[in-house]
Amino acid sequence: MKEVKICGLKRMEDIEYVNEFKPDYVGFVFANSKRQVSIQTGAMLCKGLSPEIKKVGVFVNEAPKVINRAIKECGLDIIQLHGDEGPDFVDYIEAQAWKAFRVKSAKDIEDIESYPVSGYLLDAYSEDAYGGTGIRFNWEIVREVKTEKKLILAGGINIDNIEEAIKIPNVDVIDVSGGVETDGVKDKNKIRELIGKVRNHG
């Protein structure tokens, strides 16, 4: 069964929704974004989160000391490096890490295995943002990725195409943010429906 990550939580209502429907992971965006939260707010939200849900902190080109402070204060389980960080950057992070790749073509993921991380997140490329754009890329590229690490699919996933995403055999985690929002905030019914489709598949 595929795992589910609901990313971009920023309100206590969001915490209540995920506590009810239990995705495997939730993401807090500490980088510049419309879904950005401060470390202080992230810590407050994390305190209310069910302990069985893993907490992922999303950072873009941030200093390691800031990331490590967030790990401690928020109790983050995984750090998602979504910027231009090189493979050596991982050595300075005091938690397991996922590296995000913004994909236009198969060439963008040729060096994927050079990163000493526990997971690779594939997202759509955008000139304007490092992630969270709701843009989808060519998922056929994902099928060609061969790795023993966890493979996370992100970018433009929603209720209408989730079943197509589930069918990609080598994807381990489905990562959704805008696809479970209405008017820019998390939608309880969309979260329930999307997680239900993943859990009931097959």
CB 100 within 8 A of CB 82: yes
* Two tokens, residue 171: 């994807």
Amino acid residing at 160:
D
CB 161 within 8 A of CB 139: no
CB 23 within 8 A of CB 6: yes
pTM: 0.93
Cβ burial, residue 83 (10 Å; 0-12/13-18/19+): middle
Closest CA to 3 of 164, 172, 193: 172
Mean pLDDT across the stretch 12-16?
98
What class does CATH assign to 3-199?
A: alpha beta
- Give pLDDT tens digits for 92-133: 999 999 999 988 777 777 888 899 999 999 988 555 545 455
In the block, tokens 């939580």 appear at 9
Closest CA to 56 of 142, 135, 152, 145: 152
**Rounded (10°) CA dihedral 58, 30, 62, 103:** 40
**Which comes out higher in pLDDT, residue 106 or 10?**
10
Whether 9 shows a pLDDT value over 80: the answer reads yes
Query: Parallel, antiparallel, or unpaired for β 54-59 and 78-81?
Result: parallel
